[in-house]
Amino acid sequence: MAKKYRLLIRAQMHGAIRDPGYIFELADGELGPHRTVLASNKGAQLADHDHPDRKNDLIDVPQYEEVSE
CA atoms within 13 A on the CB side of 14: 10
Q: What is the pLDDT of residue 10?
A: 96
pLDDT digits (tens, 9 = 90+) for 41-69: 555 555 555 556 555 677 889 999 999 87
pLDDT digits (tens, 9 = 90+) for 11-30: 999 899 999 999 999 888 88
Q: What is the pLDDT of residue 53?
A: 59
Q: What is the pLDDT of residue 47?
A: 59
Q: What is the pLDDT of residue 34?
A: 92
DSSP 11-39: EEETTEEE-TT-EEEE-TT----EEEEET
